[in-house]
Amino acid sequence: MSVQTPTKGQLREIGGDLGFDMTEEEVEVYQSEFAGVRFVYDRLDRLPDYLPPVKYPRTPGHRPSGAENPYGAWYVKTEVKGASRGKLKGKRVVLKDTIALAGVPMMDGASVLEGYVPDTDATVVTRILDAAGTIVGKAVCEYFSFSSSGHTSVTGVVESPLKPGYTPGGSSTGSAVLVAAGEVDMALGGDQAGSIRIPSACCGLVGLKPTWGLIPYTGIVSSEFNIDHTGPMTRTVADNALLLEVLAGPDGIDTRMSTPAPRTHRYTGALDRGVEGMRLAVIEEGFGWPASMPEVDATVRDAARRFAKLGAEVETVSFPWHRDAFIAWMGFALDGYYTNLLVGNGFGTNHGGLYLTSLNDKLAGWRRRANEIPYNLRFGMLSGEYMKRHHQGHYYCKAHNLARQAAEAYNRLLEDYDAMIMPTALKRSRPYPPQPFSVADTVSMALENIENTCPFNLTHHPAITIPAGIFDGCPIGMMLVGRHYDEPTLYRAAHAFEQGVDWTAISVDPG
């Protein structure tokens, strides 16, 4: 790649797009000045990129099919071994296919990234391998992670391992399915609106969206810098806490981490303390959304009451800000997602950290395969471009400000309570509609179930989902939300419930 001096025609065209009326003299001066600074780009081309080193050997792996991939959840199978001793010794870990694993293909569910192979490892990859974990592959995710169901990846529909033909949730779809099916011990997901918590809820797993920045996002495809999170998905609370112990803490690269960096914890140390003396707030506005399924609401209310039997003080609290926090996320995310991922080629500008130059270059060509983009993402792109052209970032700016106000409101509530409780997903898993999916089905399935989860991407509070019960063979998730960097309290409550309640025996008839 080399930078050429623009022609006069190119400068006139660009000037016209920018609204400039330029004289011939202007054009000549600008062309001459650009020729004078072209040496900068020539020198940049000659300098090697500065990427984190790759520590452990690996092979590209292979694309499984048929009997080797019964739920459509694998993108690539491989085996990358790390240190010989560590906390994750013997653990098989799969990565959401947004996480860079050098030398192994990465697609983010999108045909426009077909053939892309990262040239470095994400920080979380190195930490898993340093802790003696074995990375066994990449899990299918939704097309550019813009769906909460499981139906938009270019590799095909992903099915629930608990009920074939049912939705497993998304966008960390394959990560949840492979853990629930017992094919791996642990998974890493990504979460901008609920994409760890929703599939974990649908598949009966424990899924944590940690405090923003607690786990470095270095080397992971960004949807929008301010709401990007990565976190663990496991079958048990203990495994979840163990994986967070390995992943948490600054890497000196990701600027999402606050300065000075907060203290991390031995998260497994909080597990056996019980909930005696804890105060839990059941958030009334987390129930009874227009899209809420009655059996989901009834099951989570029943589960919340069981905390009282375990020794906690449980109160129902009205908190109207919760509904407006969802509105703020919507105003923020539609503009931000489009601008960051598709205008900014996955990184945008004006923030620090690692930029994957090779990924930027690959994403820059998305228009060549634009007709392969699914309907839900087309809607998001059209909405983002419409708002950009006609409202010039007004609502993005206002939503940014309201995010601070929402965070402050939640913080005030959490001065009186140790955690908040509400349903994770408003709907349980259910059958896919007939294929091929209509435009309406594709869009509606992609945008559902985020009402309770997305506010905490915006306010950056940690949130964990645990299975609370089951209805018609489909797990129902309960979400606990805590203070910033207070993941130990969430694990304490989640583990007490897991050990004290058999969620598989809870099936509440809402009638």
What number of other Cβ atoms are within 10 A of residue 336's Cβ?
A: 24
Contact 251, 216 (CB under 8 A): yes
Q: Which residues contact 417 (CB under 8 A, 6 or more apart)?
A: 279, 280, 281, 315, 317
State how far the Cα of 94 lies from the Cα of 89, in Å rounded to an integer. Answer: 14
Instruction: Report how far residue 259's alpha carbon sits from residue 209's, in angstroms, rounded to the nearest whole number.
Output: 20
Helix runs in 203-350, H state only: 237-247, 294-309, 321-337
**Does residue 171 carry a catalytic annotation?**
yes
CA separation for the pair 241, 271 (Å, rounded) = 8
Tell me how far CA of residue 253 lies from CA of 17, 52, 80, 213, 294, in angstroms: 36, 10, 24, 11, 45
- Write the single-letter amino acid at 466: I
Residue from 91, 96, 138, 362 carrying the catalytic annotation: 96
* Residue of 398, 456, 410 lying closest to 194 (CA atoms): 456
Instruction: Please give the helix or strand (H or E) that residue 201 lies within, else none.
Output: helix 197-202
Taking the C-alpha atoms of residue 250 and residue 215, their distance in angstroms, rounded to an integer, is 7
Residue 507 annotated among the catalytic residues of the structure: no
Annotated catalytic residue, options 147, 149, 160, 195: 195
Measured CA to CA, the distance from residue 297 to residue 489 in angstroms comes to 24
Q: Which of 145, 160, 171, 292 is catalytic?
A: 171
| Tokens coding 352 | 């620090």
| DSSP state, residue 144 | G
The length of the chain is 511
Distance CA 14, CA 8 (A): 10
Paired sense of beta strands 313-317 and 279-283, if any? parallel
Task: List residues with catalytic annotation.
Answer: 96, 171, 195
